[in-house]
Amino acid sequence: MEDTIAAISTALGEGGIGIVRISGQESFDILNKIFVRENSKNEFIDRHMYYGNIVNPENMETIDEVLSVYMKAPNTYTCEDVVEINCHGSIISQKRILDLVLNSGARLAEPGEFTKRAFLNGRLDLSQAEAVIDLIKAKTDKGFNVAINHLQGGFSSVVAEIREELLNVLAQITVNIDYPDEDIEQVLYKEIEKKLKEVNIEIKELIDSAEIGRIFNEGIRVAIVGKPNVGKSSLMNSILGENRVIVTSVPGTTRDTIEESVNIGGIPIILTDTAGIRKSENEIEKHGIERSKEKFNNADLGILVLDSSRMLDEEDVNIIEKINDRKVLIVINKIDLELKLEEKHVKNMIPEAKIIRTSMKDMSGLKDVKKAIEEMFLGGKIKQQESHTVNNSRHKDLLIKAKLSIDDGTELIKKNEALEIVEIDINNAYKLLGEILGETIEDDIIDRVFSTFCLGK
């Protein structure tokens, strides 16, 4: 924490602007060593941008013309003195400036160290700090909204309120332990049991929201399956809005899985077109078919494409039998041709599946397919504000453990066990929720959290 740290804060590669960030006590001194202005007699004013050149002090060679700003502690991202040097977006320029900064007294920042300092200096709690990386990695507007609400403290405030309720319960227990009164003990037990049940409902709602949070963060894996030449690749191209996959009338054109991402209704979708599943003696096609089966087994949703111009055959039935109880959407394609497939036969084999009729020739039914994907995962499930959505596996794990501790404490209350024993479980739940905010957490866990961050943030 006493070191002055530096890193390139913009993504590596070509761009209009690159930013080298410095944080720590020596930030301003380092800037003074390498930054030359036309009128160097003027003093730096906090949060003012200045034009000048970054110069190597050893040989006075100009590295780049830049805009530099000095921000004085504590009103900065890290709560320390911070300098940001805005240079041209050449990777050479950024690296040369960073080298000068490091040679002038700073050390290279570790991944996430700027945000880690913001946390350690009290500007952010741990869940807010974790929201920074979620914000950077957000793939859709909804995922971004969840992250920004977490960053602003929406989720933290919910967890803090639950902890406050548990703290009140612990206070009641402690008072009764210190000053026992047999006349009020049974009343107290019932009050504690009621409060713990209320807290558990709140925690369960947060846990239940984690699946939606996972979808916003990771997306939904959707595998398009079916026998050859039913229109799988055409469907994928239509959803993507581009000709990503080669489409021909020759069965078996797609020999391997093809994966692309698309945004449907604010949900990131990882869409996979698979090789047509059938018996084949071709070694390459056989490998593609095995990969298709693997992708389907690992998918959150399977889209089974059937050809309406052909009756169900053995290959269709074999694929349907492999679906079992998996979540599946059935697309009966090619409805522009003569109808031979009877929908009731499909419905009899997969009663729970939603069926949509499409024609990729005139794009009919495509909107229904997209809408069905969205409704199958989000329809009616978002009952909470986005600030309350759990989108972090660490948070979910801690919430589950906290709920189990409260369950154990509630059972002990029902059995009229000593309050000293009940207190252990409630206090454990209180500490577990504190780990979400970073108030009761070990250093190695903190290091592990910030190690997932990108360099420069």
In a domain, 122, yes or no: no
pLDDT confidence band for 255 (50 / 70 / 90): very low
Tokens at 117, concatenated:
């300092």
- φ/ψ region of 453 (left if φ > 0, alpha if ψ in -120 to 50, else beta) reads beta
Average pLDDT over residues 157-168: 95
Please tell me whether residues 76 and 177 are part of one structural domain.
no
Tokens at 113, concatenated:
């160290």
Under a CB-based contact definition with an 8 Å cutoff, are residues 329 and 376 in contact? yes
Please tell me whether residues 266 and 338 are part of one structural domain.
yes
Under a CB-based contact definition with an 8 Å cutoff, are residues 68 and 50 in contact? yes
Rg (CA), the chain: 29
Please tell me whether residues 309 and 439 are part of one structural domain.
no
Cα–Cα distance, 325 to 178 (Å, whole number): 56
Average pLDDT over residues 274-297: 57
Model-level pTM? Answer: 0.77
Please tell me whether residues 339 and 275 are part of one structural domain.
yes
The 10s digit of each residue's pLDDT in 169-197 is 999 888 887 766 655 566 788 899 999 99
Q: Check pLDDT > 70 for residue 281.
A: no
Backbone angles phi, psi at 56, to 5 degrees: -70, 115
Please tell me whether residues 226 and 173 are part of one structural domain.
no
The C-alpha angle 134, 140, 143, rounded to 5 degrees, equals: 40
Tokens at 369, concatenated:
């397919």
CA 209 to chain centre: 13
Tally: H helices and E strands in the chain: 16, 13
Average of per-residue pLDDT values in the chain? 84
Cα–Cα distance, 267 to 264 (Å, whole number): 5
First-residue to last-residue Cα distance in the chain: 16
Q: Quick one: pLDDT at residue 157?
A: 94
CATH number of the domain within which 183 lies: 1.20.120.430
In a domain, 315, yes or no: yes
In a domain, 98, yes or no: yes
Average pLDDT over residues 241-263: 59
In a domain, 238, yes or no: yes
CB atoms within 10 A of CB 440: 13
For helices 443-450 and 113-120, the axis angle rounded to 10 degrees is 140
In a domain, 60, yes or no: yes
Residue span of the structural domain in which 96 resides: 5-109
CATH number of the domain within which 279 lies: 3.40.50.300
The 10s digit of each residue's pLDDT in 65-112 is 999 999 999 999 999 999 999 999 999 999 999 999 999 999 999 999
In a domain, 114, yes or no: no
Please tell me whether residues 262 and 401 are part of one structural domain.
no
Average pLDDT over residues 394-406: 96
Higher confidence at residue 295 or residue 240? 240
Q: Check pLDDT > 70 for residue 301.
A: yes
The tally of domains found in the chain comes to 3
The 10s digit of each residue's pLDDT in 2-55 is 899 999 999 887 889 999 999 999 999 999 999 998 776 667 889 999 999 999
pLDDT confidence band for 249 (50 / 70 / 90): very low
CB atoms within 10 A of CB 251: 14
Q: Check pLDDT > 60 for residue 211.
A: yes
The 10s digit of each residue's pLDDT in 362-393 is 889 899 998 888 888 776 554 445 557 898 89
Please tell me whether residues 231 and 331 are part of one structural domain.
yes
Tell me which of 66-80, 282-296, 404-418 is least confident.
Answer: 282-296
Please tell me whether residues 151 and 296 are part of one structural domain.
no
